Amino acid sequence: MSYIIEIEDLQKHYDNSGERFHALRDIDMKVRRGECVILKGISGSGKTTLLGIMAGLDHPSSGKVVVDGEAIAKLPDRHLSRFRGKHIGMIFQHYNLIENFSVRENVMVPLVPMNLDFEEVERRVRESMEVANISHKASMSAGRLSGGEKQRTAIARALASDPEIILCDEPTANLDRANSERFVEILSKLHDMGKSIVIATHDPIFDHLPFEARVVHMEDGRVVEEGRES
């Protein structure tokens, strides 16, 4: 069995004025290639922290995190950044778009440090926007988009570097029902493309996905239950 993400005995704590706060405790988790994992739990359960560590945006206090065969916690900044840019696509709760850049320019951001020809950059941007169904807004500045359009721009941006892994943090938290359903449709497309997907959410819309997904329940920084839904 080939795993794209392997986490062993992961601990994450913050020390504040002599007090220790445990954000994640004893996490062991494996994600197979092409698998979709839904991290569920209430706010503060540790979902986003776990996602951040998988993305290399945050560092574990102890434990092992191997992503696509690379122990990312030990990588120096430059290599970790390159690794993240190439292997991981992030979709954030608040989209994190650069408001005064156009959709096309936002999608281009992860490709800038990748040393690609400009023609190749343009091709990837065009294809990602098509998958995310946002090509028709390519020239519009991100600040003028609706919530759904912002989300689709964020998806296009996450796909631009053609990563194996897509990590989504509360992707539908700021979307209405129709846009959330559209997001699930795109997610299904990504799953069909063979992407490994991890979603941190508490939105019930992910309870009934049109494809097979594994649900991991979290509470107080621990994995309390694992199941399978489809």
Partner 1 sequence: MGNRTFAYFLALSLFGEKGRHISTVLLSILIVFLLSSVLFISSSLHSVIENALREEPDLVVQRVEAGRLVNLPLKWEEEILSIRGVSKVTPRIWGRYFTGVKGKSFLVIAVDFLDENSHKTLEKLIGETELKTFLDGRHMIVGYAVMEWMKSHFYKEYYNFIGRDGEIKKMKISKVLPKEDNALFADTIIMGIESAREIFGISEDEATDLILDIPNDAERDFIADKISSLHYDIRTISKKESRAAYDRMFNFKGGFFLSLFCVVLLAFVLILYQRYSQVYSREKRQIGIFRALGWSMGDVLKLKFLETLSVVTGSYIIGVSIAYIYVYILGAPLLKNIFMGNGNLDMELILPPVLDFSALSSIFLLYALPFIAAVLIPVWRISVSDPKEAML
Token representation of residue 199 = 């979603």
Closest distance to partner 1 from the beta carbon of 78 (Å): 4
With beta carbons less than 8 A apart as the criterion, state whether 46 and 221 touch. yes
104 versus 214: smaller Cβ distance to partner 1: 104
Site string for partner 1, 119-148 (x = CB under 8 A): --x---------------------------
Please report the DSSP string for 150-180 in residue order.
HHHHHHHHHHHT--SEEEEESTTTT--HHHH
Q: Hey, what amino acid is at 212?
A: E
Among 3, 25, 70, 101, binds partner 1 (CB under 8 A): 101
- Centroid of chain to Cα 52: 9
Which of 20, 43, 118, 228 forms a contact with partner 1 (CB under 8 A)? 118
Selected binder of partner 1 within 19, 20, 78, 194 (CB under 8 A): 78
Q: Taken in order 208, 211, 216, 219, is the CA torsion positive or negative?
A: negative
Q: Which stretches of the chain bind partner 1, using CB under 8 A?
A: 52, 55, 57-59, 77-78, 81-82, 84-86, 90, 92, 96-98, 100-101, 105, 108-118, 121, 157, 161
